[in-house]
């Protein structure tokens, strides 16, 4: 039986009110670094809050995730983009 790990990291820059998309078969994501809290959804599901240091594991494998930077956050009102570094496996 082959138990290989398929680990990837991605850096996102997202403007206030914007989002990004990553197609990836995985079971969890870890936010290695982010300059502000943000939201993420999996396979077009509801959004969950994330920030630096948090890991979010899903019950079943997801195939797509979308980090989203809401424009109603204080940080986004300052017109600074979200910069986040995410690990996915």
Alpha carbons 68 and 70: distance in angstroms, whole number: 6
The string of pLDDT tens digits covering residues 6-60 is 678 888 888 888 889 888 888 888 898 888 888 999 999 999 888 888 888 888 9
Whether residue 27 contacts residue 61, with contact meaning beta carbons closer than 8 Å, is answered with: yes
Q: Where residue 5 falls among pLDDT bands split at 50, 70, 90?
A: low
Rg (CA), the chain: 13
Residue 62 has φ and ψ, to the nearest 5°, of -105, 160
pTM for this model (two decimals): 0.78
Query: Is residue 4 predicted with pLDDT exceeding 70?
Result: no
Sign of the CA dihedral running 47, 7, 62, 59: negative
Name the CATH architecture for the domain at 8-88.
Answer: Sandwich (2.60)
Residue 15 C-beta-side C-alpha neighbours within 13 Å:
1
Per domain, the residue ranges of the chain are: 8-88
């Amino acid at each position: 039986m082959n138990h290989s790990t398929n680990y990837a990291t991605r850096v996102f820059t997202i403007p206030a009110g914007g989002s990004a998309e990553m197609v990836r078969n995985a079971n969890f994501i870890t936010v290695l670094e982010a300059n502000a809290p943000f939201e993420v959804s999996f396979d077009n599901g509801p959004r969950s809050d994330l920030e630096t240091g948090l890991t979010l594991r899903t019950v079943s494998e997801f195939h797509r995730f979308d980090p989203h930077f809401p424009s109603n956050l204080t940080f986004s009102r300052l017109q600074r983009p979200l910069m986040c570094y995410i690990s996915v496996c």
